[in-house]
Amino acid sequence: MLNRYPLWKYLLIVVVVVAGFIYALPNLYGEDPAVQISSSSEPLDGETQSRIEALLERNNIALKSFDISEDGFLARFNDTGDQLKAKDVIRSSLGNGYVVALNLAPATPVWLASLNANPMFLGLDLRGGVHFLMEVDMKSALEQAELRYHADIRALLRNNKVRYLKIKHVKSVGIEVKFRDEAKRLKGLELLEDEFKGLDIKEAERDGSFFLDIKLGDKEAKEIQEFALQQNITTLRNRVNELGVSEPIVQRQGVNRIVVQLPGIQDTARAKEILGATATLEYRMVDTTNDVQDAVNGRVPVGSRLYYERNGEPVLLKKEVIITGDQVVDASSGVDQDSGSPAVYVTLNSKGAKKMGENTKNNIGQPMAVVFIEHKVETKMVKGELVKVRRKVEEVISIANIRGVFSKRFQTTGLDGFEEARDLALLLRAGALSTPIEIVEERTIGPSLGQDNIDQGFQSVVIGFILVLVFMAVWYRVFGLVANLALALNLVLIVAVLSLLQATLTLPGIAGIVLTVGMAVDANVLIFERIREEIKLGNTPQASINAGYEKAVATIADANITTLIAATVLYAFGTGPIKGFAVTLSIGILCSMFTAIMGTRAVINLVYGGRKVKKLSI
Q: CA–CA separation, 124 vs 301, rounded Å?
A: 55
DSSP codes of every residue in 232-272: HHHHHHHHHHHHT-SS-EEEEETTTEEEEEEET-S-HHHHH
Q: What is the pLDDT of residues 320-361, one digit of tens each?
A: 888 877 777 777 777 777 777 787 888 888 888 888 888 888
User: How do residues 570-580 score in pLDDT, each as one tens digit?
Assistant: 888 876 678 88
**Residue among 68, 61, 78, 79 at smallest CA distance from 37:** 68
The amino acid at residue 76 is R
Q: How far apart are CA 85 and CA 79, in angstroms?
A: 10
pLDDT at residue 384 above 70?
no
Distance separating alpha carbons of residues 423 and 487, to the nearest angstrom: 51
Q: Are 498 and 491 in contact (CB under 8 A)?
A: no
Confidence of residue 41 (pLDDT cuts 50, 70, 90): low
CATH fold for the domain made of 7-25+446-608:
Multidrug efflux transporter AcrB transmembrane fold (1.20.1640)
Give per-residue pLDDT as tens, 46-81: 888 888 888 888 888 888 888 887 667 888 898 888
Q: Among 3.30.60.50, 3.30.70.260, 1.10.10.60, 3.40.47.10, name the CATH number for the domain at 31-106.
A: 3.30.70.260
Q: Which residues pair with 76 in a beta bridge?
A: 34, 65
Domain residue ranges of the chain, discontinuous segments joined by +: 7-25+446-608, 31-106, 138-218, 222-443
- pLDDT, one tens digit per residue, over 273-314 is 667 666 677 888 999 888 888 888 888 888 888 999 878 889
Query: Which parts of 537-573 fold into alpha helices (H)?
Result: 541-573
| Residue 269 binned pLDDT confidence (cut-offs 50, 70, 90) | low
Q: Is the pLDDT of residue 434 over 70?
A: no
pLDDT confidence bin for 22, thresholds 50/70/90: very high
Q: What is the 3-state secondary structure (H, E, C) of 94-152?
A: HCCCCEEEEEEEECCCHHHHCCCCCCCEECHHHHCEEEEEEEECHHHHHHHHHHHHHHH
Is the CATH code 3.30.1360.200 the one for domain 222-443?
yes
Q: What is the pLDDT of residues 529-575, one digit of tens each?
A: 888 888 888 888 888 888 888 888 888 888 888 888 988 898 888 76
Query: What sign does the dihedral 576-578-581-587 (CA atoms) show?
Result: negative
- Using the Cα atoms of residue 54, residue 57, residue 59 and residue 62 in order, give the sign of their dihedral: positive
Q: Three-class SS of residue 504?
A: strand
The whole-number pLDDT of residue 17 equals 92
The distance of Cα 495 from the centroid of its chain, to the nearest Å, equals 24
How do residues 210-238 score in pLDDT, each as one tens digit? 888 888 888 888 888 888 888 788 778 77
pLDDT at 273: 66
Confidence of residue 20 (pLDDT cuts 50, 70, 90): very high
- Residue 19 has a pLDDT of 93
